[in-house]
Amino acid sequence: MVKKKDYTNGLPDPSKLKEEILAKYPRKVARKRDKAMVVNDPGVDQEILANVRTIPGIITQRGCTYAGCKGVVLGPTRDIVNIVHGPIGCSFYAWLTRRNQTRPATETDANYIPYTFSTDMQDENIVFGGEVKLKEAIREAYELFNPGAIAIFSTCPVGLIGDDVHAVAREMKAELGINCFGFSCEGYRGVSQSAGHHIANNQLYKHILGTDDRARMGKFQVNLLGEYNIGGDAFEIEALFEEAGITLLSTFSGNSTVESMAYAHTADLNMVMCHRSINYIAEMMETKFGIPWIKVNFVGAKSAAKSLKKIAEFFGDAELTAKVDAIVAREMAKVEAVREAIKPKVEGKVAMMFVGGSRAHHYQDLFGELGIQVVSAGYEFAHRDDYEGRKVIPNIKIDADTRNIEDLDVEKDDVRFRNDLAAKKAELMEAGYKFSDYEGMMPDMKKNSLVIDDVNHWETEKLIEFYQPDLFCAGIKEKYVVQKYGVPLKQLHNYDYGGPYTCFEGAINFYQEMQRMLDTKIWKLVDAPWKREPEIVGSMTIEA
């Protein structure tokens, strides 16, 4: 049996590992991948190459622009019919694979999430155009379900043949008298699903946000941005808000409705969970309506407690603060009892995680609570600010791929702009309270941890050989190869049918699941076929 590596005295310098990985690539490819791999030093400002196109031929974990738009941002919204204009495979890919849960208030409330809507484009539509078929699909969906809103999502063939989903949306909006709008989110439009997030944010801002000026619904009104209710995560957060007396107007977009998004602009505060997918909406809402935003994290018990207290601090209400403190004290006592029982069984284990959104960062807090070391991490679709912090945004170059995405001209709404919130923000900032701030993942990672953007299959194999991890966190594409190495893999995209993992009950769920995964002996019995069969090793001889 291979002796496990000891990381108690710090992580080893992975520079040699990085050199070995890069040596396999052609010279031009190696130069590019070199910039996307950083031997981390939290005390130094380091630049990483991110949000660039994946090198052709490399097995990437990424999804496409359409997946980010439809599957991530709009997928969890229950009262809108999301019609995919394209082949049926695209619809199936973005339908329920992320395990977005929802909970309608009554049995009669609209919930279209269980359905998948598609124009099911065939060869004939590719040749002669699919706009007629799209109109027929919209009419049929309206006749069957009578929704208040219909969204149309473009897939790759639509962009290639030139179908105008926006013109169709305008025509059908006039014909049916409902909100109907489209997304130019063809899969190839951006470098990854990140482009789809941006496109979704833009269209939600243009067609939904601010269309319902309803009266106040509570004393402390907030929106939660970038929480998608995987495995019921949003339910845990909602329950805590309700107990504390905080009115959650809208979530973008876990357990959400477009009805609630329409009056989200009446909130007092926006909270951003997944920085990458939703910071656009947060910025636009502050510019137009004066609603400040803060970065929060409800993954991890200590992080959840910190976020709740930061919300209470913003409102500065003694009763709210007392309620939050009581909730935190009660729940942390439960969490600590479970943590103390489980931590000795998993402490010192080694984990790696390569997932999307902010999860590769957020889940390090949960691992830290159990004493599990994260030796390497990275994102599928991050930008530099997700790694290095928002301070680098002014220095990020605008490239051709970024120009594919519409840049909205957002202006202040002189009538509905919240001057009181702008004044409150200025006062709190003077006292040291942080708004519109995210320091990124790299400053929170240990020295000599290896940070990799858009990790591929070859790099994954070398990481496993070098670090000998006890746990690998990623997605379905990597799951079975990693497990054949004798390393358990936890999907942090859909939780492997587990969860929730947010807040205090979620932390307990995660602790218990880590004990089950890491305390079992079964993985040591795995004998991967490539360990006993001849291996064919290829080499790249063409310099590019």
Q: In order along the chain (544 residues), what is the average pLDDT of each group of 10 residues?
A: 72 96 96 98 96 92 94 96 96 88 94 96 95 98 97 96 97 98 96 96 98 96 97 97 98 97 98 96 98 98 98 98 98 98 96 92 96 97 96 90 88 98 98 97 97 96 95 93 93 92 98 95 81 67 54
> Is 86 buried (19+), middle (13-18) or exposed (0-12) by CB count in 10 A?
buried
Number of neighbours of residue 156 by Cβ within 10 angstroms: 17
Q: What is the pLDDT of residue 3?
A: 58
Q: Are strands 37-39 and 450-452 parallel, antiparallel or unpaired?
A: antiparallel
Per this entry, what is the length of the chain?
Answer: 544
Domain(s) labelled CATH 3.40.50.1980 in the chain stretch across: 1-61+347-389+439-543, 65-208, 221-346+391-431
CATH 3.40.50.1980 assigned to 1-61+347-389+439-543: yes
Per-residue pLDDT at 539: 62
For residues 489 and 478, is the Cβ–Cβ distance under 8 A?
yes
Is 101 in contact with 231 (CB distance < 8 Å)? yes
How crowded is residue 249: how many other Cβ atoms within 10 Å of its Cβ? 21
What strand order describes the sheet that includes 269-272?
A: 247-253, 221-227, 269-272, 293-295
Question: Encoding tokens for residue 496?
Answer: 């492997």
Give the residue numbers annotated as catalytic, written as ranges.
64, 67, 98, 197
Nearest to 501 by CA among 152, 101, 198: 101
Torsion of CA 83, 86, 88, 94, to 10 degrees: -60
Q: Do you find a cis peptide bond into 253, omega within 30 degrees of 0?
A: yes
Crossing angle of helices 275-289 and 193-207, rounded to 10° = 30
Q: Which pLDDT value is given to residue 1? A: 41
Which two tokens mark 240?
A: 């805590």
Angle of CA points 289, 502, 350, to nearest 5°? 125
Supply the pLDDT for residue 540.
Answer: 57
pLDDT of residue 216: 95
**CA-based nearest residue to 51, from 404, 368, 370, 297:** 404
- The answer to whether the beta carbons of residues 84 and 112 sit under 8 Å apart is no
Strand partners, 376: 352, 450
Tokens linked to 52: 């660039």
Looking at residue 106, its pLDDT comes to 92
CATH of domain 65-208: 3.40.50.1980
* Other beta carbons less than 10 A from residue 462's beta carbon: 15
* Domain covering 221-346+391-431, topology: Rossmann fold (3.40.50)
Measured between alpha carbons, how far is 151 from 74 in angstroms, rounded to an integer?
9
User: How far apart are alpha carbons 66 and 264 in whole angstroms?
Assistant: 25
CA distance 121 to 155: 10
**Beta carbons within 8 Å of 26's beta carbon, 6+ residues apart:** 540, 542, 543, 544
Helix 359-370 and helix 318-346: axis angle, to 10°?
70
pLDDT of residue 527: 79
502 within 8 A of 236, measured Cβ to Cβ: yes
Give the separation between CA 188 and CA 63, rounded to whole angstroms. Answer: 10
